[in-house]
Amino acid sequence: MSRISLGYSPCPNDTYIFYGLVHGKIDGALRCREILEDIETLNRMAMAGKLDMTKISFHALALMRDRYCLLHSGGALGRGCGPLVIASDALDSCDLLGKRIAIPGKLTTAALLLRLFNSALDDLVAMPFHEIMEATQKGDVDAGVIIHESRFTYPDYGLHKVIDLGEWWEASTGHPIPLGGILARRDLGKEKIQQIDVSLCASVKYAHSNPGVVKNYIRQHAQEMDEAIMQQHIDLYVNEYTLDYGADGEAALVDLFARAEEAGIVPRSDQPLFID
């Protein structure tokens, strides 16, 4: 049987989650051909139908619900883990109007949250997430939306937090903030998708049970090599929702998509998120 193509980012939470699956540690799992790219590249590859299974921004999923379904495990969703808007000067959120703002890709959930927060913020510049802090520091942009480990390291660049979009979402909706999840192509068929879903859950459990085994793989791919930052990243983005979204997580996703549809940012869809 040919390997399924599996895309995920080199960020610590993803390498933690997928180690068991891609290293043959999960009994009965399909063989995977891993492709490690930044989240926006994965979004674009999935939009082009190039990946059988992939980590994805929920913003991007909203645009391809007809072709991909969501798996129950592996999601990045929680509280206190949302994107931050940062700037070189201490600004209020109202000061962002008219400012040039860097975003980590047009299909990222970070970009979606910024648009939901204030649709008038429309001078947006897409760039790789790891370039945003330096671009903001140098004045190439007035502000930036940062994700991943950048939320721990931005003070090292002399940057200031303008708004935490995750805190805004939580206060506005009461839901945890949904950032990204793991998708499978619908045309793989229900039986194979369910097999992948079970294996993915087992891979998360494997990492939980064998943190020392996965550590070298995480370190090998991490942008931020500081051990403490790597662990902070995992602790923040791998949580109770990572094994299964549960009712709270699913409600957060439904609300996110409904708000994006109402704002005209994504098309409406009647497709169920999961194949059960």
Per-domain residue ranges for the chain?
A: 4-78+177-262, 84-173
CATH of the domain spanning 84-173, picked from 3.50.50.60, 3.90.730.10, 3.40.50.620, 3.40.190.10: 3.40.190.10
Q: Where are the alpha helices (DSSP H) in the chain?
A: 12-22, 39-47, 58-61, 109-117, 132-138, 150-153, 165-173, 190-209, 211-221, 227-237, 240-243, 246-262
Positions marked active-site:
148
Tell me what the pLDDT averaged over the chain comes to: 95
Mean pLDDT for 60-77 is 96
Q: Which tokens belong to 181? A: 């999840």
pLDDT reading at 1 higher than 70: no
Among 11-20, 58-67, 226-235, whose mean pLDDT is lowest?
A: 226-235
- How does residue 186 score in pLDDT terms, banded at 50, 70 and 90? very high
Q: What is the DSSP letter of 10?
A: S
* Two domains, one topology: 4-78+177-262 and 84-173: yes
Classify domain 4-78+177-262 at the CATH class level: alpha beta
pLDDT digits (tens, 9 = 90+) for 137-159: 999 999 999 998 788 889 999 99
> Locate tokens 């204030």: which residue?
118
Three-state secondary-structure class, residue 69: strand
Angle between helices 211-221 and 12-22 (to 10 degrees): 120
Q: Cα(first)–Cα(last) distance of the chain, in Å?
A: 24
